[in-house]
Amino acid sequence: MKITIIGAANIDIIAGSKVKIQPGESNNAEINIKASGVARNIAAMLAIHKVDVSLIAAVGNDPFGILLKESCESIGINTEAWIIKNNTSTGVYLAAHENTGELYAGFSATAAVESIKTSELLKHKALINEADLLLLDLNLSEKIIALALEQREDGPVMVNAVSVDKVLRVEKFLDRINILKLNRLEAEKLTGITLDTKERVKQAGFNIVNRGVQRVFITLGMAGVCAVDSTNAVFIPALPVVVKDLSGAGDAFSAGLAMKYTKKLKSQAESGVAFAAEHLSRNV
């Protein structure tokens, strides 16, 4: 199995406060710096499971970019198609968490991935077409999403929606998408349906399928996931797990979907749930 992923690779700087955060004050905290980014996270989880995965990402020609590339290569991710930007900084996600673990504030700088040019992506048409599965995250600009889909001559395409602010970037291309992963808020944004009951979750799923997507997976946090295709809507419960780190759980779910993209709808959803549970319990 060969999977090519196009999207964000960045550095996470996470501050976990040891006390209740006091705005305007210096708060005692534990700070962690790690390689991250939606596309990078999914690629890393697949590589750990021995999948042949290539990542097309853009980073700055700076220490963070070097760190990211080396960390990916160390776990077996193919980085030959990385785009190195001389005048753009590597993406950074900066977050502060309360001493309870709740997110207090987060800040994302994604200029590198959003600055990918069509000429830069065109160099990697072979990598896009030779993959058994092409996976895109919506940190990409709409122009690059369109180009990637245009270059993909055959074979399935999966999309990770990333965020409420970016989910509409895929709206024009739903009939080109085989697998779409959304969370509850992203599905609400894309459909205009409030997902406050199981029936409305299913309604949103069928709404998206009727617009061209073959399979839709809507993650619902502790309520599990709803998987929908043209004829079925199934709910898969979340697995009980001792949580070590909530960050990246959605990316782990996407990795599980990608790992089992040829399986039946329910089996694919169960794979996503299992990957997410594994990640939550051991922070892969």
Q: What is the pLDDT of residue 250?
A: 86
Q: From the first residue on, what is the mean pLDDT of each consecutive set of 10 residues in the chain (284 residues)?
A: 96 94 94 94 95 97 95 97 94 92 87 94 96 97 97 96 96 97 97 98 98 98 95 92 61 95 97 86 56
Structure tokens at 34: 């790690």
DSSP string, 250-279: HHHHHHHHHHTTTS-HHHHHHHHHHHHHHH
CB neighbour class for 123 (10 Å; exposed up to 12, middle 13-18, buried from 19): exposed
Going from N- to C-terminal start, the domains of the chain cover 1-155, 178-284
Query: Which is the CATH superfamily of the domain at 178-284?
Result: Ribokinase (3.40.1190.20)
Closest CA to 249 of 53, 75, 68, 36: 36
Whether this model's pTM surpasses 0.85:
yes
Q: What is each CA distance from 205 to 65, 91, 189, 231, 236, in whole angstroms?
A: 38, 32, 12, 11, 14
Paired with 5 in beta bridges are 55, 135
CATH number belonging to domain 1-155 = 3.40.1190.20
**Residue owning tokens 């092409």:** 134
Is-same-fold flag (1-155; 178-284)?
yes
Q: What is the pLDDT of residue 241?
A: 58
